[in-house]
Amino acid sequence: MNIVEIKDVCKTYPAFKLKDVSFSLESGKITGFIGRNGAGKTTTIKSMLNLIHTDSGEVCYFGLPLSEHETEIKQRIGYSTGTVSWYPRKTIRQIVDITKTFYKNWDEEAYRRYMTLFGIDENKKPIELSEGMKVKFNLLLALSHKAEVLILDEPTSGLDPFSRDELLELFKTLRSHGVTILFSTHITSDLEKCADNIVYISNGEIRANCTKEAFLKDHGKPGETLEEVFLRLEREVLS
């Protein structure tokens, strides 16, 4: 069952165009969203969060259009990125105390559990956190309101191999609990370990939207890894 549907999303910038982007996320699966820097991954994710004004197209979660059910949908989804830090000079406790008042499903027990698991100190400020800890803090916020869909923009960028592995294991555990994950990355080796499906975007266009196995079968050569397939496809686009 598809829990998220992105249909014909277009967005034109002076130097870049997102062209009829369509794909879906299967419930309880991890979908790897791959593409090189500037391919349109973040723009697509922003359109999925209503952070940008698209020219056309529609994004639906749980069968509901985002344009009409924004508040309701945002109660049920979570977003995490390693590239932005919110309120860098406030303590995590201050940020969480306010954030939780917006969520009907905030689970204090889950919050405490993940905080211990991630090793996050509530008295620290985001400015004092490493890139990896920032990702974990964002994930902590998403997981504590029991998000059914997690949209993760480059969540493993800047993480050491051990933390990356730890996060990938966590994603697999969340998947086993029915959480749907969109995992945008250019570190394709991470997806080898955990992705069920692959959405491949290049130059603002979706080039593939299928299971990881089908992607490797359709686009790869025998014995090629996901990373090797991705690199070869990108080189083909350039040549």
Q: Can you tell me which of 14, 37, 71, 119 binds another protein, judged by CB under 8 A?
A: 71
Q: Are 112 and 63 in contact (CB under 8 A)?
A: no
Q: Are 107 and 144 in contact (CB under 8 A)?
A: yes
Of 24-32, 71-79, 157-165, 167-175, the segment contacting another protein by CB under 8 A is 71-79
Q: If you ran DSSP here, which 8-state letter would residue 68 be given? A: T
Q: Are 199 and 32 in contact (CB under 8 A)?
A: yes
Q: Name, in order, each residue with C-beta under 8 angstroms of 224's C-beta and a sequence gap of 6 or more.
A: 216, 232
Q: Is 101 in the site for another protein (CB under 8 A)?
A: yes
Q: Is 91 in the site for another protein (CB under 8 A)?
A: no
Q: Write out the binding residues for another protein, residues 14-53 only, by CB under 8 A.
A: 46, 49-53
Of 93-101, 165-173, 217-225, 227-235, the segment contacting another protein by CB under 8 A is 93-101
Q: Name, in order, each residue with C-beta under 8 angstroms of 86's C-beta and a sequence gap of 6 or more.
A: 95, 126
Q: Is 134 in the site for another protein (CB under 8 A)?
A: no
Q: Is 79 in the site for another protein (CB under 8 A)?
A: yes
Name which of 22 and 75 has its Cβ closer to another protein: 75
Candidates 8, 23, 6, 5; CA nearest to 63 is 5
Q: Are 160 and 132 in contact (CB under 8 A)?
A: yes
Name which of 150 and 168 has its Cβ closer to another protein: 150
Q: Are 204 and 19 in contact (CB under 8 A)?
A: yes
Name which of 84 and 237 has its Cβ closer to another protein: 84
Q: Can you tell me which of 27, 103, 124, 193 binds another protein, judged by CB under 8 A?
A: 103
Q: Is 214 in the site for another protein (CB under 8 A)?
A: no
Binding site for another protein (CB under 8 A): 46, 49-53, 70-72, 74-75, 79, 84-90, 94-95, 97-99, 101-103
